[in-house]
A = this chain, B = another copy of it.
Amino acid sequence: MPRPTIKDIAIRLNINPSTVSRALRGHPDVSARLRESIREVADKLGYRPNHMAINLRRGNSHTIGLIIPEISPFFFPSVIRAVEEVTHEKGYNLLILHSNDSIDREIENAEICANMGVDGVLVSLSRQSHDIEHFQELEASGTPIVFFDKVLPGSIAHKVVIPGEQASRMAVEKLWKDQPSASRILGIFGDPRMSITDDRIKGFRNKLSELGYALGEPDIVFASNAEEAGGLFREQWQGNNRPTAVFAMSDEILAGIMQTIYESKIRIPEELYVISISDGELPGYLPFRIPYIRTSGYGLGKAAALLLLQLIMKMPLLPDTHFLDVELVQ
């Protein structure tokens, strides 16, 4: 037998469905006596409101869309956990859309959000995204959007990001303090198409130049994944101008170079000083302590979700970029 509806309750009591609806949602236009009988029958029948009907009527699905470019072991799981926590707290459901770093998938996902009538969208852009016009339709229909982590620089939108430039500067500062004699510093960065890469390079480069360190040509290398990072690092290490210190832009990069470090039995920090930007998980698995600038995927997800909820609640907030706190660990 199918699920009981409001109509079933109404028939049972010889009243109108509208009255049942009102009673169930506590509308004062229903007498206490009748409301009680309705509640009773509803309980006995095991009535549960049909969200699809409610969604259609209300024009929104009480759901938050989360569009992310990847689900790597680090970072995004924390983001998902934080977003889930915040949105569930407020009774929202979470629709996960994975763009797999593809602009086509991202466009598709934006459309799904529009068609599904999500109440708000959280977006971390794919590597291929060089504009955000595919979010125009959502924007136009009044659906709040918060971009986080991988955002489009210069865009006028609500953004929550990690202060990449600052994080890099902090890392360089720490490196410089610990290894004033560092003769060659290598910076390994992620995909140069991502804005976060730009930010982190800027901090790295500027801080070093302020400290009077002249960057040579191959002192900044790009890797689009962990393996590439490992390969590039190996090249440098086996070359005739070994780095004495290495800066990893992210956990993925750090993971990539660890293999080479183990294989070549490089002693940390005696032979090589390693510093990274990390969310703190990976450094905990390593056999030596390395300093890192802590960026929290959890914190980022939480901040972005909270901001989105405020926008959904019609808080009059101007588009702005919010920076999370970062800290030096160890």
Q: Which residues of A contact B (CB under 8 A)?
A: 2-3, 46, 48-53, 55-56, 59, 61, 63, 71-74, 76-78, 80-81, 84-85, 88, 93-98, 111-112, 114-117, 137, 141, 255, 258-259, 262, 281-282, 284-288
Determine which of B48, B115, B285 lies in contact with A258 in the assembled complex, contact meaning CB atoms within 8 Å: B285
Q: How far is the CA of A141 from the CA of B71 in the complex (A)?
A: 33
Q: How far is the CA of A262 from the CA of B284 in the complex (A)?
A: 10
Shortest A81–chain B CB gap in Å is 4
Q: A51, B117: Cβ atoms under 8 Å?
A: yes
Q: B284, A259: Cβ atoms under 8 Å?
A: yes
Q: A53-B56, A76-B77, A284-B259 are in contact. Are A98 and B115 (CB under 8 A)?
A: no
Interface centre among A78, A84, A93 (most CB of B within 10 A): A93
Determine which of B50, B137, B288 lies in contact with A117 in the assembled complex, contact meaning CB atoms within 8 Å: B50
Q: How far is the CA of A76 from the CA of B81 in the complex (A)?
A: 11
Determine which of B51, B77, B88 lies in contact with A72 in the assembled complex, contact meaning CB atoms within 8 Å: B77
Q: How far is the CA of A96 from the CA of B137 in the complex (A)?
A: 25
Q: How far is the CA of A258 from the CA of B78 in the complex (A)?
A: 22
Determine which of B48, B53, B95, B97 lies in contact with A111 in the assembled complex, contact meaning CB atoms within 8 Å: B48
Q: A93, B73: Cβ atoms under 8 Å?
A: no
Shortest A320–chain B CB gap in Å is 27
Q: A3-B141, A117-B52, A255-B285 are in contact. Are A77 and B81 (CB under 8 A)?
A: no
A84 CB contacts on chain B under 8 angstroms: 71, 96, 98
- Chain B residue with Cβ nearest A61: B52
Q: How far is the CA of A112 from the CA of B95 in the complex (A)?
A: 13
Determine which of B52, B76, B78, B114 lies in contact with A55 in the assembled complex, contact meaning CB atoms within 8 Å: B52
Q: A94, B93: Cβ atoms under 8 Å?
A: no
Q: A73-B73, A285-B286 are in contact. Are A98 and B81 (CB under 8 A)?
A: yes
Q: A93, B93: Cβ atoms under 8 Å?
A: no
A98 CB contacts on chain B under 8 angstroms: 81, 84-85, 88
A287 CB contacts on chain B under 8 angstroms: 262, 286-287
Interface centre among A2, A73, A80, A94 (most CB of B within 10 A): A73
Shortest A99–chain B CB gap in Å is 10
Q: How far is the CA of A220 from the CA of B53 in the complex (A)?
A: 53
Q: How far is the CA of A284 from the CA of B74 in the complex (A)?
A: 14
Q: A49, B93: Cβ atoms under 8 Å?
A: no
A111 CB contacts on chain B under 8 angstroms: 48
